[in-house]
Structure 1
Amino acid sequence: MNHIIETKDAPKPIGPYSQALKIDNFIILSGQIPIDVISNQIPENIAEQTYLVLKNIKLILVHAKFQVHNIIKTTVFTTDLKKINIINEIYKKFFIDNKSNFPARSCVEVQKLPKNVKIEIEAMAFKK
């Protein structure tokens, strides 16, 4: 059985989709972009954007009673792969700080993302 996951702690979807969908022991998160839920602002630089996206992912997971260590796969979309070292630095720190192994990951450069952000990340998590 599946359940739509929705929390006010993370940005509302900007289109006709759910923040996440829980199916049994899996949760599939829609791509998250770096919108600050309190200020509704988007940071300028890629480091701050990456951190905010990961923070929003964590907030959705926690709302669904999952944790960062439950993430099994992420897909990173960025408008500039030349910034991959910065993205990787923030990404690595996030998973280490949350005492998590690194999940499987794909990273793709795209021409443009919603609201002209520099990064979007989607995730899947599983727990027993």
Structure 2
Amino acid sequence: MGKAIFTNNAPAAIGPYSQAIEAGDFVYVSGQIPINPSSGEVVEGIESQTEQVLQNLNAILEEAKATFEDVVKFTIYLKSMDDFVTVNEIYGKYLAEPYPARATVEVSRLPKDVLVEMDVVVYRK
């Protein structure tokens, strides 16, 4: 197994998994939900939830000595595709071309009944 990555600037895992695992030139970041790491509480509303998820991902990327520019694959899980445009607009503020590969899927339920979850794969040269 690779090296576990952990930061207090993102929510602690709520199960038997790591925030991220470094494996060679890759970093696999576990799905992040909109928990404020300071309060431990879920933030409300799709805009705030999306921002919080991206901030949590960014904190883990920083700990891994990476940035969103190093992300090669994003997966976005939405409780409702009705939120796609809103999430996409906020997501776009964190990334620049060339954009990473991405999948966005609607799911029936997410942990803690949040509206959005995201995970990423990073490649570091």
Offset of 1:67 from its aligned partner?
1.2
Could you say which residue in structure 2 is the equivalent of 1:118? 115
| TM-score, structure 2 normalization | 0.95
Secondary structure at 2:103 match in 1: strand
Offset of 1:42 from its aligned partner?
1.4
Could you say which residue in structure 2 is the equivalent of 1:21? 21
CA distance in 2, matches of 1:46, 1:37: 18
CA distance in 1, matches of 2:89, 2:61: 22
Offset of 1:101 from its aligned partner?
3.4
Could you say which residue in structure 1 is the equivalent of 2:84? 84
CA distance in 1, matches of 2:113, 2:100: 26
Offset of 1:94 from its aligned partner?
1.6
Structure 1: 5+ residue runs without aligned partners?
Answer: none
The answer on whether the counterparts of 2:74 and 2:121 sit within 8 Å (CA) in structure 1 is yes
Offset of 1:9 from its aligned partner?
1.0
Q: Percent identity?
A: 40
How many residue pairs align between the two structures? Answer: 125
Alignment of 1:90-101 (within 5 A): 90-96=90-96, 101=98
CA distance in 1, matches of 2:77, 2:4: 23
Could you say which residue in structure 1 is the equivalent of 2:56? 56
| TM-score, structure 1 normalization | 0.93
